Amino acid sequence: MGNMTWWADVRPSAELARHYRGRGLWRDATPAADLRRWARETPDAIAVTAHTAGSGVRRMTYREYAGQVDRVTAVLAELGIGPGQVVAVQLPSWWELNAVVLACARLGATVTPIMPSVRAREVERMLSRLQPVAYVTTEEWAGYGYSAVLAAIADRLPAVKHRVIVGGRAAWGEIDLVQRMEQVRPGETAAGDADEDPDRVSVVFFTSGTTGNPKAALHSFNTFYGGYKPFGERRGVTSADVLYIPHSLAHIAGQIEGNMLPLYTGAEALLIDTWDPDTVVSLMAEYGATTYVGAAFFLDGIMQAAGRRNLKLPRFRQIVTGSTVVPASLPGAVSDALGVTVQAAWGMTEVGLVTLTSADEDPPDWAPRSIGRPVEGLGIQLRSDGEISPEHPAEMFVRGPSVCLATMAGHTGELDVLAERDGGWYDTGDLAIADGRGGTRVVGRAADRIGGMFMIPVADVEDALRGHPDIVDAALVGYGQGNELACAVVVSRKPLTLEEVRAYLDSIAMTEMYQPVRLELIDQLPRNAMGKVDKHHLRTWLPTSDK
């Protein structure tokens, strides 16, 4: 039926499925079943509080939310969406994005969320690789015309038979999702439901991976469940909680904390589509946010806004941060301002959320020095040819029920089924040592891994830089704490500025967050005996290059 049945055979072995089900780490249901459960058991409890810039707040009970997901499911079924097909969705952190994910779960389709910050060049590459039959987006958001861009590339994407618009005008021959939902008649909403299969490839996320080459992580709903179930249980999340995450719902962390974990526990998801610290802290106070999961940058903004506004967050009980280096001063500042101990967590797109420090067992200032211990079912292995030390860290591998079923090379489409090699251990690309308390401390990154919550496709950016008419050669190198920022080191025919380089990358529609924020001109790139650029030398040189 579908146009992507070539990955239909990517499933866990029967032995692995029995093993994880026997330990309670996998199950026979999907998040759509969780929604049905709470709509039946606590129909009047709030499921979603969604803030949309310019439109205000919409609150939905579990009964109401289930009804809206029913309608989205009916519309997609009417379009012929079903098993073996792919639906791409590029929306801000709106409840409709989550509803599309749940509708695809019911219909047996695969969904690929694309972050709203990703631009035409990368979107076209993703769609060309996945060949979705439907693409769900919006007309315009934050000054960017999504539907117009999609219309411009539509002729090169013949597999995309249905272009669906949420919000705004359907001006390019698209289908208006909201209008079609209003036309759904009672009794039609269950039509087309497939047997929900938690072991099939259900959600695909694109990531740059550890080598800097774009690839896709192919997850089942059980690989999600194998991470968020123990992660939520370690944190004690219940139906009394209101969960907020500042990161995009199109990112794996956003889906876990803003969609699947709230549904699993019967909690409330607080969704805010625009990052504005004053708006965020006001909504957190008004609607009683209890937990926060997100990068330190956003947490710092929340603290500053709460201080400026003299706002209290009386229900706030848990803060989890990670993905980037946690500043040493952050735990004390948060404790003084909010009375909450900062916990650190670690995860990545391919393996979900894996580790967590303890607010009860670890020192209150431990988050900057450790990523904590693995949650139930997950394991970390540190590999080194010699003694592990801060000067000689080990390569960090992860194994467990949350590791994705396979990865797919973005350029070639080659599948790597992870359970079939190295005993299921996945190379994270991070360098780590033991933290002295039974946990792990990440001390750096291997190879070309640059970025925090969102990885930069290093090799792709380097290829683009070499396409500049005045650039002879180029390397992209991470710098700063944790190598989170990107510096372009280039050999050029004439002097160039960072603004000129970024203007060129803008002209080829490269996503802004992939672009370098620093430029260094050099006469010749250092290379090793094999002719490869010596990036270790460049990373060592960068801190002193401007002195």
Domains of the chain: residue spans and CATH: 1-28+205-411+418-444 (3.40.50.12780), 64-197 (3.40.50.980), 458-545 (3.30.300.30)
Average pLDDT over residues 377-401: 91
CA–CA distances in Å: residue 125 to residues 285, 321, 385: 41, 32, 39
Whether the pLDDT of residue 88 is over 90: the answer is: yes
Only one residue has tokens 């960068």, namely 542
pLDDT digits (tens, 9 = 90+) for 139-171: 999 999 999 998 999 999 999 999 999 988 877
Q: How far is CA 462 from the centre of its chain?
A: 23
Give the separation between CA 249 and CA 306, rounded to whole angstroms: 24
Q: Give the pLDDT of residue 534.
A: 77
Token pair for 314:
């009386």
- Please give the share of the chain, as a percent, with pLDDT higher than 70: 91
Whether the pLDDT of residue 209 is over 60: the answer is: no
Contacts of 273 (CB under 8 A, 6+ apart): 50, 51, 52, 53, 92, 93, 94
Q: Give the pLDDT of residue 412.
A: 77
Whether the pLDDT of residue 112 is over 90: the answer is: yes
Give the separation between CA 374 and CA 230, rounded to whole angstroms: 10
Whether the pLDDT of residue 363 is over 60: the answer is: yes
Cα Rg, the chain, nearest whole Å: 23
Give the separation between CA 203 and CA 443, rounded to whole angstroms: 30
Only one residue has tokens 């209003």, namely 182
Query: pLDDT band at 321, cuts 50/70/90?
Result: very high
Token pair for 212:
């800097």
Q: Give the pLDDT of residue 544.
A: 63
Contacts of 430 (CB under 8 A, 6+ apart): 395, 396, 442, 444, 445, 446, 449
CA–CA distances in Å: residue 424 to residues 12, 378, 395, 401, 419: 11, 12, 15, 10, 4
Neighbours of 55 (CB within 10 A): 11
Kind and range of the H or E element at 112?
strand 110-113
Only one residue has tokens 């290829």, namely 463
Q: 211: closest CA among 30, 457, 424?
A: 457
pLDDT digits (tens, 9 = 90+) for 257-282: 999 999 999 999 999 999 999 999 99
The per-type count for the chain, helices as H runs and strands as E runs, is: 16, 25
Query: pLDDT band at 500, cuts 50/70/90?
Result: very high
Give the separation between CA 39 and CA 201, rounded to whole angstroms: 26
Helix spans in 42-173 (H): 62-78, 95-107, 120-130, 146-153
Give the separation between CA 522 and CA 268, rounded to whole angstroms: 53
Whether the pLDDT of residue 64 is over 70: the answer is: yes
Token pair for 195:
């047997």
Average pLDDT over residues 106-127: 92
Largest CA-CA distance found in the chain, in angstroms, rounded: 71
Q: 392: closest CA among 467, 438, 444?
A: 444
Q: Give the pLDDT of residue 1.
A: 40
Token pair for 154:
């539509």
Whether the pLDDT of residue 6 is over 70: the answer is: no
Of residues 45 and 326, which shows the higher confidence score?
45
Q: Give the pLDDT of residue 448.
A: 60
Q: Is 494 exposed, middle or buried (0-12, 13-18, 19+ CB in 10 A)?
A: exposed
Whether the pLDDT of residue 4 is over 50: the answer is: no
Token pair for 65:
């939310």
What does the mean pLDDT of the chain come to? 89
Where residue 43 falls (left for φ over 0; alpha for ψ -120 to 50; beta otherwise) is alpha
Least-confidence region, from 108-117, 397-406, 410-419: 410-419
Average pLDDT over residues 463-472: 89
Where residue 192 falls (left for φ over 0; alpha for ψ -120 to 50; beta otherwise) is left
Whether the pLDDT of residue 317 is over 90: the answer is: yes
How would you label 386-417 residue by residue, b for 16+ Cβ within 10 Å and e otherwise? eeeeeeebbbbbbbbbbbbbbbbebeeeebeb
Q: Give the pLDDT of residue 455.
A: 66
Query: pLDDT band at 482, cuts 50/70/90?
Result: low
Task: Give residue 508's identity as a one-letter amino acid code.
Answer: I
- DSSP-derived letter for residue 259 is I
Strand positions, DSSP E, 156-290: 162-165, 175-176, 203-207, 215-219, 242-244, 268-272
Contacts of 108 (CB under 8 A, 6+ apart): 82, 83, 84, 194, 195, 196, 197, 200
Is-contact 106 196, C-beta < 8 A?
Answer: yes
Query: pLDDT band at 190, cuts 50/70/90?
Result: low
Q: Give the pLDDT of residue 530.
A: 44
Whether the pLDDT of residue 529 is over 50: the answer is: no
Average pLDDT over residues 101-109: 96
Whether the pLDDT of residue 461 is over 90: the answer is: no
Q: Give the pLDDT of residue 185.
A: 75
